């Protein structure tokens, strides 16, 4: 039986990946994993909890505060190297054959690129074995295309309401940080594109 583990931050990208996995594998075969640092409150993790509850997904949250202690910050390069490796180890020891991560390629981080991902995939095969398939289904998409996926799955409003992706604030989206800008510009680009498409279809 195919099962999938989704690394879920509670933001737009990983939640869209969760919806894609549910669509493909069925919610009984999908698991979510989130990470916190030294038990610190984060709005996106609260979102992840709520999302899994509503979608009836088994959700595990692990504290990886040691990484924050080592890097003296929770915003360090190479984070995805660790998170995806941890998820792959969890999947391998729990009989889950797919690991899905919401890497989005237009990020400025080197550990979000296709080059990083392809190399990590090979490394995990060498380190853990061939039975784990690692996927990054939205790595080549821009934000408007990620909104389009949510819409086509019938979850556009769900993503709008239930996910949180701000880097500056914990109470609401600041709409000024790069993460907010990409989220909201992507949404308005998609909605414009959709409206134009609807018009064309009417003619
Ligand atoms: Zn923001």
C-alpha pair distances (Å), 86 with each of 69, 79, 161, 197: 18, 11, 29, 42
CA of 115 to the centre of ligand 1 (A): 28
Tokens matching residue 122: 């090979």
CA of 44 to the centre of ligand 1 (A): 12
CA of 69 to the centre of ligand 1 (A): 25
CA of 143 to the centre of ligand 1 (A): 15
**Domain 4-202 superfamily per CATH:** HUPs (3.40.50.620)
CA of 190 to the centre of ligand 1 (A): 19
CA of 172 to the centre of ligand 1 (A): 8
CA of 109 to the centre of ligand 1 (A): 17
Question: Which of helix, strand or coil describes residue 117?
Answer: helix
CA of 117 to the centre of ligand 1 (A): 26
CA of 68 to the centre of ligand 1 (A): 21
CA of 177 to the centre of ligand 1 (A): 4
CA of 171 to the centre of ligand 1 (A): 10
Mind listing the pLDDT tens digit of every residue in the chain (203 residues)?
Answer: 799 999 999 999 999 999 999 999 999 999 999 999 988 888 999 999 999 999 999 999 999 999 999 999 877 889 999 999 999 999 999 999 999 999 987 677 888 899 999 999 999 999 998 889 999 999 999 999 999 999 999 999 999 999 999 989 989 999 999 999 999 999 999 999 999 988 777 76
CA of 76 to the centre of ligand 1 (A): 18
CA of 130 to the centre of ligand 1 (A): 39
**For position 203, what pLDDT does the model report?**
62
CA of 9 to the centre of ligand 1 (A): 15
**For position 60, what pLDDT does the model report?**
97
Q: Are 184 and 160 in contact (CB under 8 A)?
A: no
**For position 73, what pLDDT does the model report?**
84
- Ordered by start, the domain boundaries in the chain are 4-202
Q: Reading across the β-sheet that carries 4-7, which strands appear in turn?
A: 58-63, 30-36, 4-7, 98-100, 133-135
Global confidence as pTM: 0.94
- Are β-strands 4-7 and 133-135 bridged in parallel, bridged antiparallel, or unpaired? unpaired
């Amino acid at each position: 039986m195919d099962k999938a583990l989704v690394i879920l931050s509670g933001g737009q990208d990983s939640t869209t990946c969760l919806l894609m996995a549910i669509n493909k594998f069925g919610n009984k075969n999908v698991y979510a994993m989130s990470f916190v640092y030294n038990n610190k409150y984060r709005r996106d993790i609260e979102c992840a909890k709520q999302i899994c509850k509503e979608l009836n997904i088994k959700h595990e949250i692990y504290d990886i505060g040691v990484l924050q202690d080592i890097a003296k910050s929770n915003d360090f390069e190479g984070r995805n190297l660790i998170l995806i490796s941890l998820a792959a180890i969890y999947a391998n020891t729990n009989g889950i054959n797919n690991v899905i991560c919401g890497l989005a390629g237009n990020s400025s981080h080197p550990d979000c690129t296709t080059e990083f991902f392809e190399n990590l995939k090979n490394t995990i095969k060498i380190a853990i074995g061939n039975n784990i398939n690692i996927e990054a289904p939205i790595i080549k998409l821009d934000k408007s295309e990620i909104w389009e996926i949510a819409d086509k799955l019938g979850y556009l409003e769900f993503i709008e309401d239930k996910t949180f992706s701000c880097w500056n604030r914990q109470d609401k989206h600041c709409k000024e940080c790069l993460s907010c800008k990409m989220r909201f510009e992507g949404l308005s680009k998609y909605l414009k594109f959709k409206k134009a498409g609807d018009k064309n279809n009417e003619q």
